[in-house]
Structure formats: structure tokens, C-alpha cells
Amino acid sequence: MIVIPADVKESVRQRVKALCTTAGECLQHKIDQPSIGYRRSGGIAGSAYLQRNHVNFNPLYLIENHHEYVQQVIPHEVAHLVVYQCFGKVKPHGKEWQSVMLEVFNRPPLVRHSMTSSTLVQQQFEYQCACGSTQLTIRRHNKVVRGEQQYQCRRCKQILTPI
């Protein structure tokens, strides 16, 4: 179990509150404060649960990459909730979300993080396509092995195959 210091939790709470206030003022819409949870979920930095108005943050990344987390991940997840409250159900990283990230939070609309964690070591499996090789997580690898899923290269659009 990961113990998150009280001052870190408070800084997260304050950041979420400030982002909601900023969004409400900029968009002239009442933004409800979400509940906040801390639960590790693989390599995912955070999650937004739209109908529950809840955000979940990965404590490992939060503690080990605090500055980047506060600057990028927290706004990313709060933007999902803001978009849902203002526009309803839309594409997760669509134009509304990108607009909130850029114009309201003044942050780049990055979909993936580049943080690392010394305690979070995931087994990776090598796959290939026409572009070369890439790594898949154990979760994705197991889905391929079970025949439940195929993954496609983002560049060449070819189906990834295990090496």
C-alpha cells in the first residue's frame, strides 16, 4: 500500500479546485468539484469517471513525478469532467477537450504521459509491423494471445504481430 503524504493530497485537492474554478469562470458554467481517489492502475496516470464526477490518480506517478503530474495529469483528467459537465458526452480527447486544455487551462492537450516510476515496472512484449518493432504491455499481450484483441500500428496501420 502506498502512503500519500497529507500535504501532497492537499496540493492535489487545491489544484483540482483551482482548475474547476478557472473553468467555471472561463466557460461561464457551474463546474461541480469532483471527488478524488488514489488507486494504482498499471501505467495509467489518472482516470476520470464522468457520471460519478470522480477523478482517480495513480499515487506512484504522483509522488515520483509530482511537478509534471500537477502541471499536466491533473488538468488532463479535470478537463474530461469539465467537458462532460459543459458539453455532455463527446469524444474523450476531441475538440472540446483540446479547447479546454489549451484555452482554459493553458496546457498542451497531450493524450499520453511520458512519466516513469521506479516502483512501477511492467513486463513488456516486443511486437513488429512494417515500421519496425514496438512494445506492448502484458495486459495487451495477453489479449492478443487469447485472441480477444488485435493492435494496429499508429503510423503504418499494419496489425502488430509478436516477435
Q: What is the 3-state secondary structure (H, E, C) of the chain?
A: CCCCCHHHHHHHHHHHHHHHHHHHHHHCCCCCCCEEEECCECCECEEEECCCCEEEECHHHHHHCHHHHHHHHHHHHHHHHHHHHHHCCCCCCCHHHHHHHHHHCCCCCCCCCCCCCCCCCCCEEEEEECCEEEEEEHHHHHHHHCCCCCCECCCCCCECEEC
Is the Cβ–Cβ distance between 36 and 20 less than 8 Å? no
The residue type of 69 is Y
Query: Please, which pLDDT band fits residue 105 given cuts at 50, 70 and 90?
Result: very high
User: Which superfamily does 6-104 belong to?
Assistant: Metalloproteases ("zincins"), catalytic domain (3.30.2010.10)
* Structural domain boundaries in the chain: 6-104, 124-162
25 is catalytic: no
User: Among residues of the chain, what percentage have pLDDT more than 90?
Assistant: 69
Identify the band that residue 74 occupies on the pLDDT scale cut at 50, 70 and 90. very high
Cα Rg of the chain (Å, integer): 18
Query: Active-site residue among 68, 77, 103, 126?
Result: 77
For the beta sheet containing 54-57, the strands, ordered from the edge strand earlier in sequence to the opposite edge, are 35-38, 54-57, 46-49
What pLDDT, on the 0 to 100 scale, is given for residue 124? 78
Q: What is the pTM of this model?
A: 0.74
Q: Does residue 89 carry a pLDDT above 90?
A: yes
Distances (CA, A) of 17 to 14, 23, 44: 5, 10, 22
The pLDDT value recorded for residue 56 is 96
Polymer length of the chain: 163
Beta bridge partners of 44: 41
pLDDT of residue 76 exceeding 70, the answer is: yes
